[in-house]
Amino acid sequence: RKEVEQDPGPFNVPEGATVAFNCTYSNSASQSFFWYRQDCRKEPKLLMSVYSSGNEDGRFTAQLNRASQYISLLIRDSKLSDSATYLCVVKGTANNLFFGTGTRLTVIP
């Protein structure tokens, strides 16, 4: 079983739409969770960490459900510039990161 499983999409949404991505992780002992964003032919960049109580950063909301080992990312009022691949990431026991396969989002004018 993969460490992190993620819906690959693609998600094609109109500008202004709300879109949600989900992922699940296999190691119940995992403590740190992140969403990274990767633009085409670029390196991944940290979008936000995911905290137990859930957290919000502008139009982005991340939530964690430890009981279900489930992480989500909600993007409100989608912009064209949000088009990218969103990677669900879980920290391993030695500070290494396990990446999901990524969910590709295209925001359409």
Partner 1 sequence: SAVISQKPSRDICQRGTSLTIQCQVDSQVTMMFWYRQQPGQSLTLIATANQGSEATYESGFVIDKFPISRPNLTFSTLTVSNMSPEDSSIYLCSVLPRLAEIYNEQFFGPGTRLTVL
For partner 1, which is the closer residue by CB, 46 or 108?
A: 46
User: Does 106 engage in binding with partner 1 (CB under 8 A)?
Assistant: no
Distances (CA, A) of 65 to 58, 82, 88: 21, 25, 14
Residue 94 amino acid letter:
A
The whole-angstrom separation of Cα 45 and Cα 101 is 15
For partner 1, which is the closer residue by CB, 72 or 101?
A: 101
Binders of partner 1 among residues 62 to 91 (CB under 8 A) are 87, 91
Identify the residue among 9, 83, 98, 106 touching partner 1 (CB under 8 A).
98
The whole-angstrom separation of Cα 90 and Cα 95 is 10
User: Does 100 engage in binding with partner 1 (CB under 8 A)?
Assistant: yes
The whole-angstrom separation of Cα 72 and Cα 74 is 7
Binding mask 19-58 for partner 1 (x = CB under 8 A): -------------x-x-------xxxxx--x---------
Place of tokens 């990677």: 87
Compute the least distance from the CB of residue 84 to partner 1, in Å: 13
Distances (CA, A) of 82 to 21, 23, 37: 13, 19, 9
Can you give the binding site for partner 1, defined by CB under 8 A?
Answer: 32, 34, 42-46, 49, 87, 91-92, 94-102
